[in-house]
Chain A
Amino acid sequence: MTTVSTTPTKSTAPIASAIAKAASNAPKLPIYLDYQATTPMDPRVLEAMMPYFMEKFGNPHSRNHPHGWEAEEAVEHARKQVADLIGADEREIVFTSGATESNNLAISGVANFYKDKKDHIVTLVTEHKCVLDTCRHLELQGFKVTYLPVKKDGLVDLELLKSAITDKTVVVSVMGAHNEIGVIQPLKEIGEICRSRGVFFHTDCAQAFGKIPLDVNEMKIDMMSISGHKIYGPKGIGALYVRRKPRVRLVPLIHGGGQERGFRSGTLPAPLCVGLGAAAEIARREMDSDNQRLIKLRDRFYKRITDRLPEVYLNGDLKQRLPGNLNLSFAYVEGEGLMMGIKDLSVSSGSACTSASLEPSYVLRALGVDEELAHTSLRIGFGRFTTEDEVDYAADRIVEAVQKLRNMSPLWEMAQEGIDIKSIKWAAH
């Protein structure tokens, strides 16, 4: 056996160790801080999936041979893993292609099934685009939709919700945790209200599932939309929880072979189902420790920014919030300039779905954030693989960029001199 010398030559030792130290602290660029848009896969999820891409490739609906049975067994195990995370029965889990499909299926499915008796839907103005778009299409079909405003902190006004429900209301749809501002709605209270009024409660938990404790029975949730790629699982898979008692009935969106008990036809992608299941199981075991770590990272980041920068505004409530989310507006800087100044950081301005357009976020506008501040908002998402070094580096870059932009800004200069910019009447041109 050969021994490897651990003593470096004396002349290079200090340099080598300095380089090693610097390398360990310098995060790899660009830094991914957009965990609400999508998450990297957890290697353990990938490992669970791989056999189902390879030797266990069967169609889970093939009932005639072991290739099919093996895939089916894996899908059913995954279904149980998903159910276990939210206190549901596995028979209440319908696999879909993702949370967008789940939201479409839940809302239009329940509306269409009960349309002879009820024709009213209640939701919030800050819901995800796929919920709002589904509601708009239902309006075109003759349904009535109430879009409730939210409070300044992004939370629903429960009294307003109560008064919006009528005897024609079929479903209330409220997002569990928000994709842009991270606020967590009072699901248990909403569930109570809905159940006592005999209205179904649907919640889009694409961002909440796997991140915060959820219990469909305790929260009286009738339908819950779930996504794989937001919890370190694969894209292209999601689920809809559909309560069996009292039973929720849906008109399916996708018709065909009658898979998923008729709720959703189409061959189930067994490897993706396995991935969602594995991601859910890891989340169930590690949610507490993940969240403790994320809150520390988030607070560290927030402090590092606000210690050095005045006029930074947090959008959305801080306490009722996803541990891995911050949404900050930086006054007196220009949004695009800020994005250009932090090119090493993958963060989002506005939600990913609409971020290709540079319109100010409709969510921030609904919170009453004024247009200027909405334009300069950043959504920063932290996750399982975010490190302290990355957080420090990111905060420093943002501070530098904001300071640089403010130093160039006449508005900032005026504000420093105590001039109220809103009072200025700009010359017309």
Chain B
Amino acid sequence: MTRPVYLDYNATAPLKPAVIETMTAALKEVGNPSSMHRFGRLARRAVETAREDVAALVGALPRQVVFTSGGTEANNLAMRAAGAGRRLLVSAVEHDSVLKAARDAELLPVDARGEVDLAALQAMLERDERPALVAVMLANNETGATQPVALVAHLAHSHGALVHCDAVQAAGKMAIDFARLGVDTLALSAHKLGGPQGVGALVVADTVEINPLLKGGGQERGWRAGTENVVGIRGFGAAVRLAAEDFPQMQALASLRDDMEARLLRAAPDAVVMAPGAGRLPNTSCIASPRVSAETQVMALDLAGVAVSAGSACSSGKIRPSHVLRAMGVAPELAANAIRISLGWRTQAGDIDHLVEAWAALHARAGVSPTGTAGRPLPAA
């Protein structure tokens, strides 16, 4: 078999070689950034350089960047900014790390494209005098659909609300300008953009007070205690620099993706691409095949050496119909048949050929004919 084809970049992306180089060098060095001696000062400088890099990627100031252990912690930290007494208005398609960190949240509905309903948001904001925290992600991890976050922020601020934006999947895949988005906090993760697992950041506007999640040594200006993951942070810095350099290649994945979707639909004409008409990340495709369950697709593709996923990579081994697709009004039966294909920096046209072949073979076995008329049903197992 040829090299296995990895098309699950939204779960995690392989490290870019230059990131590995940076980290390999860093791994051999010692130093706690809080130590005053030379080893400590060098580690501190490396952390601050990475902070500048991360800030530059999203048009923020270095002092606004708080390093965390990843996107999940960043989202949790942001949701705590609400403090007691604030209402939580959270889009129905958010990642679990936002949804589960927001107990008693009111869900903002989305339309069939996965976009939040701004009229509904306005009504919810007007219904209650208490200040709110609104959480809307920049791009969805399962469908790649983007949100009108700047509009959400404008609307929310005019009602005295704070806005958190989970940009974990969006960073490196679309242009982000923290100031222009106008949000109060923005969550980032390194390993989704070619950096290491175990590091992320929360970008915090100057006007916002953060209620720390981890208390202790006063690192990260008191917002996040704990010895900095120096190697991870340096890897993060290297990865965001590369993400900026490789931005055109990332955008070019859209045409590869669109071509892939067209070929998949030719092989299985009754399949449906999710989030139709939405602005989408260039690398993500969520596609449902009415006649083959997600589990069967994932297993068959895996046997053919192609790694894709059903839903997002979380703790549960079970495949549940996605809350994202359900919120978009996709029927449960169809949602249960959706897989996510996500491309990245190492994806080549040959990988897509491999996927399309495996998908076509699977659908031929399932009796779906390329002309669109269903063939004979599968023999009973």
Residues on A close to B: CB < 8 A? Answer: 30, 32, 34, 37-41, 46, 49-50, 53-54, 57-59, 61-68, 96-101, 103-104, 128-131, 133-134, 136-137, 227, 229, 234-237, 253-262, 265-272, 339, 345-349, 352-356
Given A59-B313, A62-B12, A265-B72, verify A272-B308 contact (CB < 8 Å).
Answer: no
Cβ-defined contact, B197 with A267, below 8 A:
yes
Q: Give chain B nearest CB distance to A142 CB in angstroms.
A: 13
Q: Which of A130, A260, A355 touches B225 (beta carbons < 8 Å)?
A: A130
With A59-B11, A354-B217 as contacts: A41 and B28 at CB distance below 8 Å: yes
CB distance from A423 to the nearest CB of B (A): 35
Distance between Cα atoms of A133 and B216 in the complex (Å): 5
Interface pair A65/B39, CB less than 8 Å apart? no
Whether B214 lies near A129 (C-beta < 8 A) is no
Determine the residue in chain A with the shortest Cβ distance to B23: A53
Cβ of B101: which chain A residues have Cβ within 8 Å of it?
A: 254-256
- B: contact size bracket: 35 or more
Chain A residues with CB under 8 Å of B227's CB are 38, 98, 100, 227, 229, 235, 352
Q: Report the minimal beta-carbon distance from B302 to chain A, rounded to whole angstroms.
A: 5
User: In the assembled complex, which residues on chain A have CB atoms less than 8 Å from the CB atom of B298?
Assistant: 64-65
- Closest A residue to B6 using CB positions: A67
Measured between beta carbons, the chain B residues less than 8 angstroms from A97 are 68-70, 73, 198, 214, 226, 229
Residues of B within 8 A of A260 (CB): 315
Besides A34-B37, A59-B313, A101-B226, 5 more A-B contacts (Cβ < 8 Å) are A32-B39, A64-B309, A256-B75, A256-B314, A257-B95
What residues on B are CB-neighbors of A101 within 8 Å?
A: 69, 214, 226
B71 interface residue (CB < 8 Å to A): yes
Known: A103-B216, A353-B216. A61 touches B314 (CB 8 A): yes
B73 nearest CB across to chain A (Å): 5
Whether the pair B28, A46 counts as a contact (CB closer than 8 A) is yes
A257 to B98, CA, bound (A): 10
Contacts A54-B15, A235-B228, A356-B36 hold; do A256 and B213 have CB atoms under 8 A apart? no
Cβ-defined contact, B12 with A57, below 8 A:
yes
CA distance A258 to B302 in the complex (A): 25
> Taking the nearest CB of chain A, how far is it from the CB of B18, in angstroms?
13
In whole angstroms, what is the CA distance A40 to B42 when docked?
14
Is the Cβ of B314 less than 8 Å from the Cβ of A347?
Answer: no
Of listed B69, B230, B308, residue having the most chain A CB within 10 A: B69
Least Cβ distance of A49 to chain B in Å?
8
CA distance in complex: A250, B288 (Å) = 39
Q: Report the separation of the CA atoms of residues A281 and B226 in the bound assembly, to the nearest whole angstrom.
A: 24
Cβ 8 A contact of A256, one of B95, B218, B219, B317: B95
List 14 contacting pairs A-B, 8 Å CB cutoff, sorted by A: A32-B39, A63-B316, A65-B302, A68-B313, A97-B73, A101-B226, A133-B225, A254-B97, A267-B71, A269-B70, A346-B38, A346-B40, A349-B36, A352-B40
CB distance from B347 to the nearest CB of A (A): 14
Is B216's CB under 8 angstroms from A129's CB?
Answer: yes
A68-B313, A272-B197, A348-B37 are known contacts. Are A57 and B15 too (CB-CB below 8 A)?
A: yes
